[in-house]
Every structure is written in C-alpha cells, then in structure tokens.
Amino acid sequence: MSELLAMADRVVARAKPGEQVEAYVSRDLETEVRVYEGELEHFVSAQSEGIGIRIIRDGRTGFAYAGTLDVSAIAEVLAEARDNVEFGTHDEWVGLAEPDGVDVVAQELWNESLAACAADSKIQFAKELERLTLGVDPRIRVEDSSYADVAVESAVASTTGVRRSGRENGCYVSVGTLATEGDETQSGFGFSVGRSPAEFDLAKAAREASDRATRLLGATKPVSKRVTVVLDPYVTAMFLGVISSTLNGEAVAKGRSLFKDRMDENVANPLVTLVDDPTNPLAYTATEIDGEGLAARRNVLIADGVLRSFVHNAYSARRVGTRSTGNAVRGGFKGTPGVGCMALQLQPGTRDQPALIADIDDGVLVQSVQGLHSGVNSISGDFSVGASGMLITNGAIGAPIREFTIASTLQRMLLDVAEIGNDVDWLPMQAAGVSLVIRDVTLSGA
C-alpha cells in the first residue's frame, strides 16, 4: 500500500461521529533545466508535498491545508479544518463523493525510463533543442531552451469509502525564439511533450519555433472587416478551454452558464460533436480517477450540435439531481475539488488544413491569440482576443498580419463553425487541438 494512502487513511480514521472527512495527500518531484547560448542557465530540482483535509458536518464544510507531511502539522490541519466547519453555511447538497461502481479504465501513467533519466541527459535535451533551433534559419536567436519533468504521487481517502492512490510522470522540452530582420523582431515558441523523453520530437519543436517567429517578419496590421477564420490546432485547443467553462455543472447549478436552459437544444453547428474523455490514452491529461476519487469516464457533451450533458462533481450533480460525471478537478492539496473538463476533443472532420484553406476566398489563418483571460467573458459570451497569423486570399496563404483582434460571441462561434479538420494534435492542455473553420468573425485592425 502506498505510503501516502496510509497517511490519508490515518486522517480519515480520526473522524468524529457525524463527520465526513476527506484527506488528499500529494508529493511532487520536479526538475527544470534551462539552457542559454550552449550553457546551463539554471537547474532546479525540487520536491513538494502537502495535505488538504475537508470536513463536513451538518451540511457545513471546512477546509485546511499545509505544505508539509510532518505528523504534528497534519494534526494541526485537521484541527483547523474542524474549526472552519463552524463558519460554513448549511447546504443540503453538500457531501463527499460516494463510490458509484464505475470501473477505472487502467492507464499507463508512469514511465520507469523517465523516472530513471539522468540529470545529464536532461541538460543534453535542452542543449540539443537549442542547437537544432539555431540551425533552422540564420535569422533565429534562442531566448531560452528548457527541459522539465514532474512526477506526482497522490492519494485520496474519505469516510464515504473512497480510497485511491496513483502516480504519474511526464516531461517536455520547450524553446522560445526571436527572429530578427533589420529593426524588426518577432517571437515564437516550440515544444514537445512525452510520457518519456523517447517520445520527444526535437526537430519538429525546433522547426515550429523557428517558423512561428520568422513567418511573422514583415507582418502588417490588417484593415477591419468580417472574415472567415481558420484556427490553428493550438488556438482551437485554447478556444475549447473557454467553451468548457460554459459546460461546467457548477456554473449551471448556480445560474452562471449561458447554456443553463439549453439542454437537448441546438447550441452548435451539426458538425460539432464535443467529447470529454480522460480515459483516452492519447490525451496527455488522461487520468484514471477524478479529484474526488471516482473513476474518470467518457462524457459526450455536444452531439451533432445538440447539447447533451454538462460535467459534474459530486456536489454540482446532487444540486441538479444527477450523478457525478467524474469531473471533479483539483489543483493540488491547497484546495477543494471544483468542476472541469479533463480531455476535450472535437470529433475530427476528413480534410487537412491546406484543403480547408483552399476553399476560402477571403480569410485569416489565426496562429496565435492573446488575452483569453482579459477579453473573453464566459458568462455573457463576449469573445474578443488579440491575434496574429496569415491572410488567406483565393485559397492560398498570403502575407503575415499582426496587432489585430478577432471578436464574436461564444454562442455565435459554435453555430458558425463551418468545418473541422482531420489534423488532431494532442497537446499538453485540457483540450486536443484540431484546425477549425469559423465564419463571420469580426477582424478589427487599422
């Protein structure tokens, strides 16, 4: 039995009559290496651990955490959580998750070769990526080239019978680039992710980092107009992340989702089928259990444009009279579980990005967006982001453009989806990327 699970068990065993107690314990081991101009800039090796304890009594919740697994500190956390219960408001739906009989889909989340990877090799990956990137184009400089990995071990146990533990690890390399020509500088980035370094594609990361920067050299500010946009897979993944907050069961229960009264209605173009499936081993965010210890599972959220399901944790499900969809998400030991999507994917279409572009007379290929946190409101649906990319004219990619915004509303953008590409790209994000064509978006520039 895992040491962490035993620790969680010991906390749960100290529940008093009438109390529900949940303990979440985790330990992370992280490495970060940064290289600059062929030299090691920094090497960070760090272990963090901690515990979060949630107590529910008479419909009231209290919580406390500490960034240590010291025995006397844990006793203090338990006492604080118990004290905090006094100040919560009674809520008839509050309660810990109860095992629901759904089986865990086993995943290969732990890679022994990564765990055994020597520090020297980690430095070499970053150096090699820098070297390859500099070799792509003479106009490129590298701002930093990094390798990072993390190994997480966690356990959750509760008085309602949840007892789970697991561990996973993963690694990535990334490179930031600057392309300079005359007085002008543009920036780019590239990365590669894997369960182990064997999965890295350093050459691809180098090429993308170089291309992202160099193709924007000479970019101008476009004139304002309504256009069809093609979102690059990376941008689509970010867009889906925003959409996911409108499908959050907690937002629905609290009346804050713009789709709260739209179940079984058409909310998107019939081309759109959106699935959240953390049991898909291709997803870097794949997991066996959710933040409350229930089995992660596949949920169809939008089918052929029709809204079919929201995502829930135990609390939000109870409030709207349904069952948890296994979507409790937890940001570590410092908080209680919220609700969120884990591995979203749009059902892909049949054509690649060049074919999608070939059908567009007047449009824009959006290669990066800026300001998703500042110009998008998932409650009102207003969507406005800064962007850069390339003009599309008569089916061909043209001049680079920058310093413009694209704007619409989330509701309209889902309905205005014109085609989905077949170029699914699994990214280290909550959603998979795929090229996405959206009509009638306002481009604002000069």
Partner 1 sequence: MAVKFWRTASTLRARPLGRLRGVIEQDVLQRVLASAVRTGADFAEVYAEDKRSTSVALDDGRVEQVTSGRDRGAGIRVVKGDTTGFAHTADLSEAGLNAAAQAAATAASQGDGVTRTIALNRSADRVVSPVSKYPDEVRKADKVAILQCIDDTARSAGAAVVQVSAGYGDSRKHILIANTDGVLATDEQVRTLVRVMVVVDGDSGMQTGYQSAGHTMGFELFDKVDVDALARDAARQAITKLKARPAPSGALPVVIKQGSGGVLFHEACGHGLEADAIAKGASVYRGKVGQLVASPLVTLVDDGTMTGEWGAIAFDDEGHASQYNVLIENGVLTDYMWDYLRARNEGRPQSGNGRRQSYQHLPMVRMTNTYVLNGADEPDDIVRATDYGVFVAKLGGGSVDPATGDFVFGMTEAYLIEDGEITEPLREGNLIGNGPQVLSDIDLLGNDFAMGNPGTCGKDGQGVPVGDGQPTLRVKSMTIGGTAA
* 216-255 residues near partner 1, rule: CB under 8 A: 221, 224, 254-255
Q: Rank residues 60 and 298 by Cβ distance to partner 1 and give the closer one.
A: 60
Q: Is 58 in the site for partner 1 (CB under 8 A)?
A: no
- How many residues in the shown chain lie near partner 1 by CB under 8 A? 87
Which of positions 159-188 make contact with partner 1 (CB under 8 A)?
A: 176, 178, 185-187
Burial class (CB in 10 A: 0-12, 13-18, 19+), 213: buried
Region class of 403: left (phi > 0), else alpha (psi between -120 and 50), else beta: left
Shortest Cβ distance from residue 45 to partner 1 (Å)? 5
Q: Is 47 in the site for partner 1 (CB under 8 A)?
A: yes
Q: Rank residues 105 and 407 by Cβ distance to partner 1 and give the closer one.
A: 407
Shortest Cβ distance from residue 44 to partner 1 (Å)? 4
Q: Is 408 in the site for partner 1 (CB under 8 A)?
A: yes
Binding mask 320-339 for partner 1 (x = CB under 8 A): --------------xxx---
The correct pick among 9, 43, 137, 159 for binding partner 1 (CB under 8 A) is 43
Shortest Cβ distance from residue 160 to partner 1 (Å)? 18
**341 close to 307: Cβ distance less than 8 angstroms:** no
The pair of three-digit structure tokens given for residue 336, joined into one six-digit string: 């209680």
CA distances from 289 to 264, 315, 329, 335 (A): 28, 17, 10, 17
Q: Of the listed pieces 12-20, 115-123, 355-363, 393-401, which binds partner 1 according to CB under 8 A?
A: 115-123
Binding mask 270-309 for partner 1 (x = CB under 8 A): ----------------------------------------
Q: Rank residues 62 and 293 by Cβ distance to partner 1 and give the closer one.
A: 62
Shortest Cβ distance from residue 30 to partner 1 (Å)? 9
CA distances from 422 to 60, 142, 211, 298, 438 (A): 48, 32, 22, 21, 15
Non-local CB neighbours of 118 within 8 Å, separated by 6+ positions: none
Q: Is 76 in the site for partner 1 (CB under 8 A)?
A: yes
The correct pick among 11, 23, 57, 65 for binding partner 1 (CB under 8 A) is 65
Q: Is 380 in the site for partner 1 (CB under 8 A)?
A: yes
Instruction: Please tell me whether residue 406 adopts helix, strand or coil conformation.
Output: strand
Q: Rank residues 21 and 357 by Cβ distance to partner 1 and give the closer one.
A: 21
The correct pick among 256, 262, 298, 308 for binding partner 1 (CB under 8 A) is 256
**208 close to 166: Cβ distance less than 8 angstroms:** no
**23 close to 65: Cβ distance less than 8 angstroms:** no
11 phi, psi to nearest 5 deg: -70, -45
As a dihedral over the C-alpha atoms of residue 242, residue 246, residue 250, residue 251, rounded to 10 degrees, the angle is: 110
Instruction: Please tell me whether residue 281 adopts helix, strand or coil conformation.
Output: coil
Q: Is 63 in the site for partner 1 (CB under 8 A)?
A: yes
The correct pick among 2, 266, 377, 422 for binding partner 1 (CB under 8 A) is 377
The pair of three-digit structure tokens given for residue 96, joined into one six-digit string: 């810990």
Q: Is 365 in the site for partner 1 (CB under 8 A)?
A: no
For Cα atoms 233, 236, 242, give the angle at the middle one, nearest 5 degrees.
Answer: 155
